[in-house]
Chain A
Amino acid sequence: MVSPALAPDDVVKALSIEDSMAYLKSKHPDAVSDDEREGYSGVVVQASKLVEVARAIRDDLGFDYLSSATAVDYLGAGDHMEMVYHAYRTSGGGALVFKAQTERENPEIPSLVPVWRGADFQEREAWDLYGIKFPGHPNLRRILMWEGFHGHPMRKDWREAYYEEEQKPFDNRWPGGHVHRSEEKNVFGKNVTYPPDIDLNRLMDTSESEVYASLGLGVDVERILDKDGFETNELVVNMGPHHPSTHGVFRMVLTVDGETVTSLEPVMGYLHRNHEKIGERNTYLHNIPFTDRLDYISSMGNNHGYVLAVEQLMSLGRKYNPPTYRCEAIRVMMVELSRIVNHLWAIGFWLNDIGAFFTPVLYFIQERERILDFFEAVAGSRMMCNYMRFGGLFGDLPERIKSVSNLTNDRVRDYNTMQFLTEMVNERIPRTIDELEQLLTQNEILLERSIGVGILSADDAINYSAAGPLLRGSGVAYDVRRADPYSIYPELDFDVAVEQDGDMYARYRVRVTELRESVRILKQILPRLEATYGESIWADGKPGAYAPRVPFGEAYGRVENGKGELGYYVVSAGGRGGSSNPWRYHVRAPSFINLTPMGLMSSGYKVADIVGILGSIDIVLGETDR
């Protein structure tokens, strides 16, 4: 019961998810209805009323944080397009899921950018990959594919150049597997259709100004580029795609007035491989190693989010055993070690960006290497761990971290696993964090470079759907591990790191605190591992099947990864067509969405600060571009 002392506003803001849905239905009876499909949740909102309802969701109900906005193509299953939104309260709790539907031909859904700026890049992605138009969007351009790309690749009827079959496993691999290379059979060009008005022999570069004008920099580019008119000091500068500070192939187009940045527009997609299309051709199991390749700095966390999403779906069915306690403990240990790796890496390379070139980062990498040694011994690979399975893990911890000489000149190592872990957690990692602080926290150069630079206010951070250290550095104590807990986090003792200033230094401080909190969690995990020694990591004692049956439904699995909230939206077609492949597989990539406020954070600062601001967001292009 809600206390009567609360003002009516607060009563509504404290409603449970069910009551919130009821509230929406009563307020907009003809625009909002329950999503009644089997295994689905949330409400369906009439597209024409979407903005109005979204405002009610944000302002009346207090779901101020739009985590994910993505499209689904239901070709052959209702033949409509759908936008799915997951909104949360920054005070914690579950998601209010709402959807808007439109037809497949000329799909159109009003933009939610006026309500949540965080929808900006996500709607552009939906336009790019699904061809949904968003009237009201200030800058609706392609974001991952290039302007001029033919078609919208995530639509179910779009086929890639090396198209083989709708879904894996492909029929021609067994029993008649006569090997070929797809590029030999499918010479590029044969199965590619060009729009009728394109003549390949007469392709020409578009003029500079057209490119820049489309970037939405908010300046009169013509005037800048006009060589006669010297009335301005503004200049367009390209940083990237091959700029060492961009941590990959990433481009920022900025206009500068002298040394001061007046506007900035991130340009991405250089590493785009349509991870999600691949994911929808794959079976559920196939996707786990592919998630490793998203944020390749912390692949354990990527695995975790995905298996959580699929386990959510599997739990809708009858034959499902949740993972054992030991399995959960190992999972948490692995993701916390990944978080340490991630933050050491992030801080190290951020320092590179602001000028402390490579001395600190190499000290951190030294520790990271030892953690990766451990991953390699347990999961089989240092970075592409592919360690988690639905309902379990690839394998239990080995007794010993041990190698066998195999190649000539091999040097071997042999440690007891638990002893190695204990020493790492109790001594080495804390020592490294102490060193890190000694080296940096009070370093005057660092303070001068980072304090008051790249400021993002709390309201903006929430409105722009920032996540992870970027959000917490702006004074919003929102950590998925506490706000919407999963696995065994509720029983673990740790604090959410938060800093109020919203600048680069605050983000650095958040990361340092999180390193310490991760160590604190690991110290609690070790005795749990000892206590469960010998127990199986599988609920029924034997490994899961390679083709699990996943019932109808949708699931959104999210975890707090090093870079922020990582979410997987998975739709299962269940019996539909009898496939074991996800109908929809979407990744809510923190590196991608955290770039939305990049322009806002950068304007007014110097060009040299931009590099540092980007570093302080901590992106990885494998995840940004997907």
Chain B
Amino acid sequence: MKMRNLLALVVVLAAAPAQVQAQAGMGSGQSVDVTYRIEKKNVKFTQFAETQMMISKDCDANSPNSCEAMKVLNQISFSFLKSKIKGDVNPGAVLCKEVGGKEQLGVDKDQNEDTFCKFSDGSQVSCNALFLYSQKNDRK
């Protein structure tokens, strides 16, 4: 992770110390298993109906430290990034890069696309979930 990314996370943590607690509802509600083709491999995700969040099947969405993706979801902020976004890009994909993840294109069985953010431990989360939770965290 680059220095400035680390710095961004530190800033986020300092601004929202309570976010180390699991967010109520992040892993609650109805969910389904979905599979995406990413780099020629089938990758399984859990998709939550209410938020449309997709996260690696191996991650426990009720535990904030179960994987790198969950840690980031609990800490991420959009406010520091807002001024950096220009043009037409997917804001979640920009967030992914800022927190040191690797953006990856996933394709479902109907060829619909979603961009995922992959972290150093191999866990992945949909970039749109990063976008959603960055705004939720900022509202706390």
Specify whether A and B are partners.
Answer: no
Chain B contact residues, CB within 8 Å of chain A: none
Chain A contact residues, CB within 8 Å of chain B: none
